A = this chain, B = another copy of it.
């Protein structure tokens, strides 16, 4: 594939002397250990005398545990312990993050199944042995006797009883505003769709892994292999295990991909920690791919019954959105967040006077679910943009024109919506949507592309082009902090509670810090994901790191600068207003060519052991905290051009453009990477990846032969990435918005539009992924649109 990057702007930072780093595509600080083979993944973490854990998993989707025979396993030489649910009955189930939804606690997952199993792959027993192969052999000798019970696989089926006293619908989230009934009553036309998004998820290269270790000498529990939410996991696991969080350190190492799934708290994480405490030996667990595909969070599966009331010009009067969120067998750490975001963020960049949504949060006998890159947005962008295309078709106007008529204008910003998402009021902070549409059409050469498609169609080809607009969200609060310290050699350490999941956060934060101090960013080391180095942290999720931790970095760097000026003035025997700082040195304004005191010299001056420190708090250190009550909202446009193979029904994406306004691009190269990687994952959900189950709830996608990942071969031959900075966020000093999810968000929507176009069948695509069989069926005239099941 060819990747073209178009970085429209490189704003000079008015706040720093030269903005040498912010806005520049400097090389990643993260890469040296990775490219030199020195990275440390969970699999690389070993301790002497460690045990290896293997999890015995449920083989039926729903059933009552009658007995678990562990005798043979225990007898195997090398096996140290075998635990079943009874051994961990005192450990509370895994909690979920704060939500206003009540009553979900009974649906949470225990670390080993208690009485019932609810999905194939659920941990039923854990074997601990001195060798991983012995552990695996022993696990095969544990055979749980499980009495099968009826399974629930369709989240949109009538509500039933999932277990005694437990409904298949733990909650319905309702949001909305305006008079929807009136909107529909007055409508010129009503467009109704039944749309489904397939069950798929983030599937990182590296499977999960966790190592628990109890340091009895210091009474400290340690977990290695953390990622994403190390502090939250520490706090919650500490509660589960009855420990003070300050006596539990979670350490993040390198991870081979995050994407929302890796680094959540899973039963296996708690098991290795508990076992390390109880067995007094380090305990290591590494997931295999089969486990990964049936035990790590799934995501995305939703069915939307959506309808729009429009006037004769195609302007939206109101939207009704009733959807069924298939959450799988248990409420996991996200709780109902994906359903909540789907409900609160569906409307995207459009003006919608009245809106009503009922999110049916449903349990099924499948793998439990969590967030996956662009959660709730990938799904709802597909729904909303399908709806926009359908409105255009219904009213008889162009797909671009219907969007233009409904887009919120820049003069309406900030645009409050009477909705909430993730506990914050939805206020679109800034956006120049139509301007980006114009730029996109120009960049893509829309008119010529359409003409080209027409020519190919005339020649018998099934080629098509489609466009989808979207609004992302990022910068979730409430707060983030960093601590910056300049050591006596001038090396700078930036400690953050944010996490690195491959996104380049070390580089981005170092860039912001470097410009704040006027030094080379390579002098800065970013320490992250070590809960003993920073009391609080929010990890990496919701595209918040660069926005929140980046803003905190700027605040802390400014404090360092102020301290350096103060101390430098003392060293130069000058008044504060007589000195300034540039290039990481303090000097007299009146004598810029004279003595310059660099940061290392200033740090030595205030070293605690020095005579010069005086009575001040020693060290050239500062903490910076940034707070936010609202998310901010980057936005973008995807354009897909596809060709459909009339023989096989296969869809090939020939060309792809992602236009994305991120307010302020700290490192455009990193954003390019994020967007292209995100596109690959979006394509997977659009065309290839799906977790399927047979009628008994047995998973059918437990290998890469069944679960089809996008490879370089499936990627578009030509990818165009256009980063713009037209609408800086007013919510942080640098105007940044998160950039990690915009490559994924609208892929399903854009590809669907393109396939419709290629088939000259408006509204054909009603479900993702668009599988060749469905297209082939349509081409053979067997079905009017893609069926609900593959």
Contacts and interface: CB of A to CB of B under 8 A. Distances in A.
A244 B536 contact: no
Given A47-B48, A478-B611, A609-B536, A487 B525 contact: no
Nearest to A537: B608
Interface stretch (A32-40, A102-110, A663-671, A696-704): A32-40
A246 B491 contact: yes
Contacts of A493: 246
Interface in A254-271: 254
Contacts of A245: 487-489, 491
Contacts of A218: 33, 40
A618 B536 contact: yes
A368 B481 CA distance: 48
A359 to B, nearest CB: 23
Given A244-B487, A491-B247, A525 B619 contact: no
A686 B25 CA distance: 71
Contacts of A491: 244-247
Interface stretch (A6-14, A200-208, A620-628): A620-628
B618 A38 contact: no
Interface in A178-222: 215-219
Interface string A37-58: 0111000101110000000000
A494 B246 CA distance: 11
A709 to B, nearest CB: 26
Contacts of A487: 244-246, 535
Interface string A493-513: 100010000000000000000
A4 interface: no
A525 B219 CA distance: 9
Contacts of A40: 215-218
A171 interface: no
A233 to B, nearest CB: 13
Interface string A596-618: 00000000000111110101011
A535 B479 CA distance: 25
Q: Would you call the interface of chain A mostly helix, strand, loop, or mixed?
A: loop
A287 interface: no
Interface in A213-236: 215-219, 232, 235
Contacts of A39: 217
Given A487-B245, A618-B481, A623-B617, A532 B535 contact: no
A756 interface: no
B246 A525 contact: yes
A385 interface: no
Of A246, A481, A619, chain B has the most CB atoms within 10 Å of the CB of: A246
A166 interface: no
Contacts of A621: 535
A216 B38 contact: yes
Contacts of A627: 615
A570 to B, nearest CB: 17
Contacts of A532: 532-533
A681 interface: no
B219 A479 contact: no
B48 A253 contact: no
A538 interface: yes
A38 B280 CA distance: 10
Nearest to A621: B535
Interface in A707-744: none
B33 A217 contact: yes
A168 interface: no
B244 A489 contact: yes
Nearest to A606: B536
A271 B548 CA distance: 43
A78 to B, nearest CB: 18
A215 to B, nearest CB: 7
A485 interface: yes
Contacts of A480: 608
A46 B47 CA distance: 8
A745 B33 CA distance: 53
B216 A608 contact: no
B535 A485 contact: yes
A228 to B, nearest CB: 15
Nearest to A44: B217
A573 to B, nearest CB: 22
Contact of A254 (B217, B254, B485): B217
A105 to B, nearest CB: 19
A255 to B, nearest CB: 12
B485 A246 contact: yes
A608 B536 contact: yes
Interface in A425-467: none
Contacts of A246: 485, 487, 491-493, 525
Given A246-B487, A487-B245, A216 B613 contact: no
Contacts of A46: 48
Contacts of A618: 479, 481, 535-536, 625
Nearest to A493: B246
Given A478-B609, A533-B533, A617-B625, 18 more contacts: A32-B219, A40-B216, A40-B217, A40-B218, A217-B253, A238-B489, A244-B491, A245-B489, A246-B492, A247-B491, A478-B610, A478-B613, A480-B608, A532-B533, A536-B619, A538-B608, A608-B625, A615-B627
What 10 A-B pairs are tightest by C-beta distance, nearest first?
A244-B491, A536-B608, A40-B217, A38-B216, A246-B487, A46-B48, A244-B489, A246-B493, A33-B217, A479-B608
19 contacts: A32-B219, A33-B217, A38-B216, A38-B217, A40-B215, A40-B217, A47-B47, A232-B609, A244-B489, A245-B487, A245-B488, A247-B491, A478-B608, A479-B618, A536-B608, A536-B618, A538-B609, A615-B627, A618-B625
Interface of A: 32-33, 36, 38-40, 44, 46-48, 215-219, 232, 235, 238, 244-247, 253-254, 478-481, 485, 487-493, 497, 525, 532-533, 535-538, 607-611, 613, 615, 617-619, 621, 623, 625, 627
